[in-house]
Amino acid sequence: MLVVLHRPGDQVSYLREVLASKSRMVVEAIHGQELLVATCYLGQPSEHLEVDELVHGKLLSDPRMSRRGRTIDDLFGSLARHAGPRTIGVILSGALREGAKGLAEIKQAGGITMVQSPEDAEFESMPKSAIAYDRLIDVIAPTTELARAIEHYVYGLEQRHDMHRQDRCATGDVQGEMAVSLQVSPCGSDPPLAATF
C-alpha cells in the first residue's frame, strides 16, 4: 500500500505512528526497494513517492516542493504505467483537485478506482473532482464500505492473476510468464498492489 497525504513540509506528521497503531501492516518510509505485501509505504511532502518499471518504490527529492499539488497524480500515473490492472487507486477527503487525473489514468490502464463519498468526506473537493473528471469510478462509498470493497477487489484480482499464471504454465509459456510477472506483479504471485490516498 502506498500512501500520500497532503500537508505542509514544515509540520511534524504522526501518520506513521497512527497507521502502525491501527493496522497489522508494517508502516515505513520507502527507499527504492521492492514493494512488499502487507507493508504500507509513506510519501513525504518534500520527497514524492512513485514506482518504476520494476514496480520498486522510489522517492523523488523536491525540497522546493515544486510538485506539490501533483504528488498524487504523479504516483497514480506511475502506477498506471508500471502496475496497470494490478492497481487500486483511492481518493479520500481533501482539498483542491489533486488525484483526479491520475485516478483516470489508473482506470484507463485497467485498474480499479474508488472515491470516498463527498457526503462522507470532511473536505469534499478531491472526491468531487475525481468523480467529475472521469465519471467511470468503480466504487463511490463511505470509508467503511471502501475498506470492504478493497478487500473484495484484492481477492478477485489475486484469483484472476493466479488463473492467468496457471494458463501460462499449462501452455508451457514459462518465459512469457516471467515477463508478465515482472511487468504486472510486484511480488510474484502475491496479491495486487494497492494505492490509497
- Total domains, the chain: 1
Distance in angstroms (rounded) separating the CA atoms of residues 81 and 52:
9
Confidence bin at 95 (pLDDT 50/70/90): confident
pLDDT score recorded for residue 12: 78
**H runs (alpha helix) in 14-142:** 15-22, 71-82, 100-108, 125-133
| pLDDT recorded at residue 16 | 86
Residue span of the structural domain in which 131 resides? 2-196
- Residue 125 confidence (pLDDT) above 60: yes
The pLDDT, as a whole number, for residue 121 is 94
CA distances (Å), origin 80, targets 134, 174, 195, 196: 15, 25, 11, 14
Q: What is the pLDDT of residue 132?
A: 95
Contacts of 146 (CB under 8 A, 6+ apart): 90, 114, 116, 139
Residue 6 has pLDDT above 70, yes or no: no
Torsions phi, psi for 118 (to 5 deg): -55, -35
Give all strands of the β-sheet with 193-196 in edge-to-edge order: 26-29, 39-42, 2-3, 193-196, 87-91, 112-116, 139-141
Residues 4-31: what's their mean pLDDT? 81
User: How high is the pLDDT of residue 60?
Assistant: 59
DSSP letter (8 states) at residue 73 = H
pLDDT band of 139, cuts 50, 70, 90: very high
- CATH number of the domain that residue 68 is part of: 3.40.50.180
Secondary structure letter of residue 56 according to DSSP: B
Q: What is the pLDDT of residue 186?
A: 30
pLDDT at 66 over 50: yes
pLDDT at residue 97 tops 80: yes
pLDDT of 178 strictly over 60: no
User: Residue with C-alpha cell 482539498?
Assistant: 95
pLDDT of residue 167: 47
